[in-house]
Amino acid sequence: MAYVGKAPANAALTASDISNGIITADKLATNSVTAVKVNTDAITNVKTEFTPGLVIKGDGSSADGKIVLNCSQNTHGVSIAGPAHSAGQSYNLVLPTSVGTSGQVLATNGNANNQLSWVSAQETKPTVANVSQTIAPATGTTINITGTNFVSIPQVQFINGSTGAITNASTVSFTNATTLSVNVTLATGNYFVRVENPDGNAGRSTNNILTASTAPSFTTAAGSLGSVAGNFSGTVFTVQGSSDSAITFSEVTSGGNVLTVSGGANCSLATNGVITTSDFGGTSTAATLYNFTLRITDQEAQTVDRNFSLQSSFGATGGGQFN
């Protein structure tokens, strides 16, 4: 015998109760009967007059609707239960139209129709994109790590490319499968980034993509570098700066490079900060103040600008100013 719902209140339906493969409503039960018993030979390929589909209701209180598939001895089995009322969710699970291969499991595609598809039972390893970033050392900083196949919530580690020392992220926020928001405090250095998903699959960047470095700074005060005799030729000044990596100097050329011939000062700036003139001031015979902006750039492409000036002088003594 097979039972649907509770034990029946009246006799079981048999094959003779089925007309043209249909169990009619009056055959199923009276209004006072909520469940019926059906002989196993009566439920093969049968239909009802009701809307297609089987609804297993909850008890209206704490028990959710559930289908149980037991073993032959009814000692254990597998159940499919409806979502809890508190979830406030209704959805369909649509079976795939093909058979999967070895090592695959059924999973939804994450879309509204909840189509089940065959996917690899082993989660794909995450990858970390080689997107370079620079942060200040010894300072908690939040950055985005991009890549693929991130799963909530992974562990993120920063591996020093020189020492191999590992620093774990302070916090990791899962944005989506391709982006993580991570807060970390690092010592000065260059770092690989490693991401490990909760299932143990991990991947890391192929390059040092994160640099903890202090931005460069000028040690030469802003403003006048001094006065230089008109038409003087030679080194007139060396601008200085500091950084935790190699630095180069350049002029910010806004509205004309005033240190060059076209700007009138007839000076050149070397990448080490040395300013040299060839015929300072050129054809000018009057004292002139030349204003210009210099820039320091370090190996991490961090920059800082500062404004300076050189005064040309004519008459009495004059002479090149050196430092």
Residues paired with residue 204 on neighbouring β-strands, in sequence order: 194
3-state SS class at 40:
helix
Task: State residue 57's pLDDT score.
Answer: 78
248 shares its domain with 228: yes
Domain annotation covers residue 267? yes
Please tell me whether residues 297 and 262 are part of one structural domain: yes
Has residue 318 been placed in a domain? no
- Sign of torsion, CA 179 182 186 188? positive
* Sign of the alpha-carbon torsion through 65, 67, 71, 77: negative
Q: Are residues 302 and 228 in the same domain?
A: yes
Mark whether 287 and 221 lie in a shared domain: yes
User: How many domains, in total, are found in the chain?
Assistant: 4
Does residue 57 share a domain with residue 39?
A: yes
Query: Same domain for 141 and 65?
Result: no
Tell me, yes or no, whether 100 and 53 share the same domain: no
Digit-by-digit pLDDT tens for the chain (323 residues) are 444 444 444 555 566 665 555 555 556 554 334 444 444 444 444 444 445 566 777 877 888 888 888 888 888 888 888 888 887 877 777 888 888 777 677 777 555 567 777 766 666 799 999 999 999 999 999 999 999 999 999 999 999 999 999 999 999 999 999 999 999 999 999 999 999 998 889 999 999 999 999 999 999 999 999 999 999 999 999 999 999 889 999 999 866 677 876 677 889 999 999 999 999 988 888 889 999 999 999 988 899 999 999 999 976 544 444 44
Angle at CA 191, nearest 5°, toward 209 and 128? 50
* DSSP label at residue 8: P
pLDDT at 250: 94
Task: Look at residue 111 and tell me if it is in a domain.
Answer: yes
The whole domain housing 29 covers: 2-87
Q: The domain that contains 162 carries what CATH number?
A: 2.60.40.10
Note whether 186 and 265 are same-domain residues: no
Give the strand pairing for 274-277 and 104-108.
unpaired
Nearest residue to 306 (alpha-carbon basis) of 237, 216, 212, 214:
216
In 3-state terms the chain splits into helix, strand, coil percentages (rounded to 5) of: 5, 40, 55
Whether pTM exceeds 0.85: no
Q: How far apart are the first and last CA of the chain?
A: 106
**Distance between CA atoms of 227 and 229, rounded to whole angstroms?**
7
The answer to the question of residue 323 being in a domain is no
Q: Judge if 231 and 307 occupy the same domain.
A: yes
| Local structure of 180: helix, strand or coil | strand
264 shares a domain with 287: yes
d(CA 193, CA 177): 16
Here the tokens at position 60 are 């209206």
* Residue ending a domain, choose from 104, 121, 138: 121
| Phi, psi of 152, deg, nearest 5 | -70, 130
